[in-house]
A and B are shown apart, each in its own frame.
Chain A
Amino acid sequence: MSKLHVTTTVNGDELDFVCPPEETLLDALRGRLGLSGSKEGCGTGDCGACTVKMDGRLVCACLVLAPEAQGAEIETIEGMATGESLHPLQSSFIDNAALQCGICTPGILVAAKDLLERNPDPSETEIRYWLAGNLCRCTGYDKIIKAVQFAAAEMRGETA
């Protein structure tokens, strides 16, 4: 079992690690790079808690082999805030009580950020379908949807 050396860009920083070829990107992020904000809820792509962005598209980090990240650009929850400034979605989730236990929150925030980058004014239905791959068992989704709408309005420059 030979290990592989992988160089990848995470949240703008070029990082590298060595891993066995069957290791997932999620395990590499959490175990080798110390980025434990992405969570493993299922390991099979059914819950979205490990959502990260890879080369411009949302993926479940549990369904990516770490060696595939060679040369890739990856964005995780740890890169969402800028210094002390939270992303409007992050603030909105706190202000609108869109989290209870918080375990699904990182994945949902990464997914919602990508949605708003593609569609600044999504309908409630569009948000619900976009986030259908992010399970939340605490909130019934209601406050999450409202928090995304609130942040979207703010980002469009509309004072909500």
Chain B
Amino acid sequence: MHFVSPQSTEEAARHLAEGGAKARILAGGTDLLVQMKSGMVSPETVIDIKRIPGMRDITEEDGGYRVGAGVPGQQLNEHAGVKSLWPGVVEACDLIGSTQIQGRCTIIGNLCNGSPAADTVPAMAAANAVAHVVGPSGTRDVPVADLPQGPGKLALEEGEFVASVLLPARPKRAADAYLRFTPRTEMDIAVASAAVSLELAEDGTVSDARVVLGAVGPKIIVATAAAEAIIGTKLDDDALEAMTKACRDAATPIDDKRGTVEFRTQVAGVLAKRAARIAKDRAGERT
């Protein structure tokens, strides 16, 4: 195995293209090292991108925030600006692993690992976050919601990697929330999860919403019908019930060691309902 620490994204992309399927990007390493330990992957080249300038920075951009691929979870959680603008994304990030994992894990690693149960992916997708992709033939920006293609699969070309994510600006009276279900309070993988981002009109009516479910399908599910069920409402019980049902209809989970189809379907709806309430309360406070 070779260990390289490129100084620029171009150099990193070159290593990645040269290494092909046997090369892996190393940011926080909290998934990669586990996979190496279990023998699931045996990379020939590991490309540590954390020494590339800017990779460990959170910068303000057009009223939103750009988060570098090397930014550890704890750094994001400590960032007052991001926390105030996208509390749901930050709380999703904070749920990844332990304090020690927070010292290393990154939201982009969480995305690129390709797990349908990743905590930050539904939250970023609900936030309309945009990934900045670097590759051998240049750069491109892709909505986070469009990247996951199935367990371990992303819509990235050979040699491409995600260098940063933009959490966009948003108006007042808008907020998000993320909830997941795990049997333990911490140190667990989501059995089902839901992110809700919404905007309120001045009268408190939901003017826009995005509902994204995790761990109930081979990839995140952007539950459009669920969002539509609450747009134009004040989140009254009927609207929430309709949204809950829409989430359950959208869910396509599997039975596995972490949960059953029945349980995941049921709980995804409950989480979306609860997250919507939290997001609405938060939005009401952002005036």
The answer to A–B direct touch (Cβ < 8 A) is yes
Nearest CB of A to B15, in Å? 13
Interface residue A54 (Cβ < 8 Å from any Cβ of B):
yes
B94-102, B124-132, B195-203, B230-238: which lies at the interface: B94-102
> CB distance A133 to B101 under 8 Å?
yes
Per the bound structure, the CA–CA distance linking A132 and B37 in Å amounts to 23
Minimum C-beta distance from A133 to chain B (A) = 2
Q: Does B29 contact A (CB under 8 A)?
A: yes
Contact B100 A68, beta carbon cutoff 8 Å: no
Whether B72 sits at the interface, judged by CB under 8 Å, is: yes
Residue of A nearest to B38 (CB): A44
Bound CA–CA A76/B236 (angstroms)? 53
Which residues of chain B are within 8 angstroms of A41 by Cβ–Cβ distance?
none
Judge whether A64 and B100 touch: CB under 8 Å: no
Contacting residues, chain B, for A59 (C-beta < 8 A):
100, 103-104
B3 touches A58 (CB 8 A): no
Decide if A63 touches B33 in the complex (CB within 8 Å). yes
In the complex, which residues of chain A have a beta carbon less than 8 angstroms from the beta carbon of B38?
44
> Are the CB atoms of B97 and A45 closer together than 8 Å?
yes
In contact, A44 and B103 (Cβ under 8 angstroms): no
Secondary structure of the B side of the interface? Answer: mixed
Given contacts A64-B29, A65-B46, contact A111 B3 (CB under 8 A): no
With both chains docked as a complex, state the minimum distance between the C-beta of A42 and any C-beta of chain B, in angstroms.
Answer: 9
- Tell me if B74 is interfacial: C-beta within 8 Å of chain A: yes
Please state if B186 and A44 are interface contacts (CB–CB under 8 Å): no
B33, B46, B103 — which one has the most chain A CB atoms within 10 A of its CB?
Answer: B103
Measured CA separation A131–B186 after assembly (Å): 10
28 residue pairs from A and B, CB less than 8 Å apart: A2-B2, A22-B46, A24-B33, A43-B37, A44-B34, A44-B37, A45-B30, A45-B97, A45-B98, A45-B100, A48-B100, A58-B100, A58-B103, A59-B104, A60-B104, A63-B104, A64-B104, A65-B3, A67-B5, A68-B29, A68-B50, A111-B100, A129-B185, A131-B99, A132-B186, A132-B187, A133-B101, A134-B98
